[in-house]
Copies of this chain bind each other. A is one copy, B any other.
Amino acid sequence: MLAEFDVIRRYFTLPSDDACRQGVALGVGDDAALLAPQAGQQLVVSVDTSVADVHFPSDAPADAIGHRALAVALSDLAAMGARSRWCVMALTLDQAWFADDQAAHAWLADYAQGFSALAKQHATALVGGDVTAGGLSIGVTVMGEVPVGEALTRRGARPGDIIAVTGALGGGAGGLTLWQQGKRDRKHPLLARYLWPTPRLAAGEALREWATSAIDISDGLLADLGHLRDASGVGASLNMEALPLSEGLADAMGQDAARQAALTGGDDYELLVTLPVAHVEPARQRLAALGVALTVIGECSDTPGVHGLPVQRYQGWQHFKGETP
């Protein structure tokens, strides 16, 4: 039988000399963690829940599930321009697994590997966890830091600001479609995009200098642009031709469906930002140095709504379509 203490100790305890442990006075193993925030910084906190067969297919590779659960949470820190520092994880495991030691341990080892590798990559220490039995579900709370007053928010876009996105769009939706068609090639660029999304933390930090507002694209470009427009009180016109499509997307789905995936598909975890015209080129160069593309896709206006869209009415993204409404 799996015991909570075993799970945390066995799979999630960092070596004491790990670089992730900076700022961790006391990690996993007591009633709570003790952390040392840095002077002059604001604490940036976000929580995300990933539910099996709602947000990801329950038969996805366990390492991808671990990676994704952390990645979607980190993506919110990226959207604030924050540096990630710590996280806590509430892992609810399928009750049936508690009866099958071997399968559970194999799954957990893979899950922990996926989670921990991404955490390490972003110098993020797992400082607390709670393991329970129920339906498979993962709640991750991430904590980062940003210099006081410098965070990017959804407010701040002004008419005339340029709208740009990092990376490429539609790959999350494209990968999910392939998965649902039974494709299991981990190396397929679309499946990789869906299963192992990349939170744009370094890009988010760099964009603090140039952007007027930011949001991460988790529900789809149009939906998240809507949140940003609401918060900033601006309209937007988009250039459909300019949307950067994920590698292999048009080949897999055709041009029209690819563009629709880029507009309304979710799970891309790219950053959507606004910035003054004069900042576009320096921001683009700075991100290029980080290996991240920045593509202009439109402009903010003082006309409410979104212009430049094809006639079709687009719906928001529902992540993995299981039983969810």
- A interface with B by C-beta (< 8 Å): 1, 25-26, 29-37, 39, 42-49, 51-52, 54-55, 76-77, 79-80, 82, 86, 88-90, 92, 95, 98-99, 127-130, 132-135, 137, 139, 141-144, 146, 148, 151, 153-155, 214-216, 231, 323-325
Partner of A34, one of B34, B43, B154: B43
Nearest CB in chain B to that of A85: its residue? B43
Residues of B within 8 A of A90 (CB): 47-49, 90, 139, 141
Shortest distance in angstroms between A43's beta carbon and chain B's nearest beta carbon?
Answer: 4
A48 in contact with B130 given A90-B90, A154-B30 (CB within 8 Å): yes
Residues of B within 8 A of A129 (CB): 47
Lowest 6 CB-CB distances: which A-B pairs, in order?
A32-B46, A139-B139, A51-B134, A31-B79, A90-B139, A141-B141
Copies of this chain, whole number: 2
Shortest distance in angstroms between A237's beta carbon and chain B's nearest beta carbon?
Answer: 24
Question: Complex: how many Å from CA A26 to CA B55?
Answer: 27
Residues of B within 8 A of A31 (CB): 46, 76-77, 79-80, 153-154, 214-216
Question: Complex: how many Å from CA A92 to CA B323?
Answer: 14
Partner of A89, one of B34, B47, B154: B47
Shortest distance in angstroms between A20's beta carbon and chain B's nearest beta carbon?
Answer: 15
Residues of B within 8 A of A127 (CB): 45
Shortest distance in angstroms between A323's beta carbon and chain B's nearest beta carbon?
Answer: 5
Residues of B within 8 A of A47 (CB): 88-90, 128-130, 139, 141
Question: Complex: how many Å from CA A299 to CA B325?
Answer: 56
Would A45 and B30 count as touching, CB distance under 8 A?
A: no
24 A–B contact pairs at CB < 8 A? A25-B42, A26-B153, A29-B231, A30-B153, A30-B155, A31-B79, A31-B154, A32-B44, A32-B46, A32-B80, A33-B44, A33-B46, A35-B43, A36-B42, A37-B43, A43-B43, A45-B128, A47-B90, A47-B129, A54-B134, A130-B139, A133-B323, A134-B137, A139-B141
Nearest CB in chain B to that of A1: its residue? B325
Would B154 and A92 count as touching, CB distance under 8 A?
A: no
Q: Which of A48, A51, A141, A323 neighbours the largest number of chain B CB atoms within 10 Å of its CB?
A: A141
A36 in contact with B46 given A90-B90, A141-B141, A153-B30 (CB within 8 Å): no
A32 in contact with B45 given A54-B133, A139-B130, A324-B95 (CB within 8 Å): yes
Say what secondary structure dominates the interface of chain A.
strand
Nearest CB in chain B to that of A88: its residue? B47
Residues of B within 8 A of A151 (CB): 26, 34
Would B231 and A30 count as touching, CB distance under 8 A?
A: yes
Question: Complex: how many Å from CA A194 to CA B76?
Answer: 36
Question: Complex: how many Å from CA A49 to CA B136?
Answer: 12
Nearest CB in chain B to that of A38: its residue? B37
Would A36 and B32 count as touching, CB distance under 8 A?
A: no
Would B99 and A325 count as touching, CB distance under 8 A?
A: yes
Question: Complex: how many Å from CA A134 to CA B324?
Answer: 8
Would A143 and B45 count as touching, CB distance under 8 A?
A: yes
